[in-house]
Amino acid sequence: MSDLLVIKTFHLLGFAGCLSASFFKNLLLRRPAIEGPALSRLVGLDKLSGGSSVVILATGILMAGWFAKPTGFYLHSPLFWGKVTLFTLASAAILTTKPLLRRAKAEGVLRPAPRERLVMMFDFGSILVIAMLGLWLARALA
């Protein structure tokens, strides 16, 4: 298997991890209160999306820097910068929910406010758009 194929497979695994974690977090956040096993599940999903984001970022940098098309192609592509910008915005939005999750773990309950629900919906939508931009980049001729 070529290096690019291995890296791409991990990029896609990271995508699957992020997307499924975000989907199930969105479902959980529809409840008025999350506690007990559901809260542990939410914390687990948060770890899954954090780990998956690290894999996505590392493999994305490897592809853009060395293993896929020439780096200049990406640096001159608005699609690439759109992908990176949206990834940064979605990651920053998720980071703002971390203190809340820490507090919920200490108190044993999370009562999601509209803001947290909105952040999670933004995260899910961003992942889909970022993936679409990735598909365009992969299919574009260098």
Q: Which residues bind ligand HEM (CB under 6 A)?
A: 8, 11-12, 15, 18, 56-57, 60-61, 63-64, 68-69, 74, 83-84, 87, 127, 130-131, 134-135, 137-138
Residue for token pair 């919906």: 121
Least distance from ligand HEM to the Cβ atom of residue 36, Å: 30
Q: Specify the DSSP class assigned to residue 113.
A: -
Least distance from ligand HEM to the Cβ atom of residue 7, Å: 9
Cβ count within 10 A of residue 43: 16
Q: Which residues contact 122 (CB under 8 A, 6 or more apart)?
A: 90, 93
Q: Are 15 and 128 in contact (CB under 8 A)?
A: no
Closer residue to ligand HEM, CB minimum distance, 8 or 42: 8
Closer residue to ligand HEM, CB minimum distance, 5 or 106: 5
Cα 141 from chain centroid (whole Å) = 26
What is the per-residue DSSP string for 49-95? HHHHHHHHHHHHHHIIIIISS-HHHHHT-HHHHHHHHHHHHHHHHHH
Least distance from ligand HEM to the Cβ atom of residue 41, Å: 21
Least distance from ligand HEM to the Cβ atom of residue 139, Å: 8
Least distance from ligand HEM to the Cβ atom of residue 127, Å: 5
Closer residue to ligand HEM, CB minimum distance, 29 or 130: 130
Closer residue to ligand HEM, CB minimum distance, 39 or 63: 63
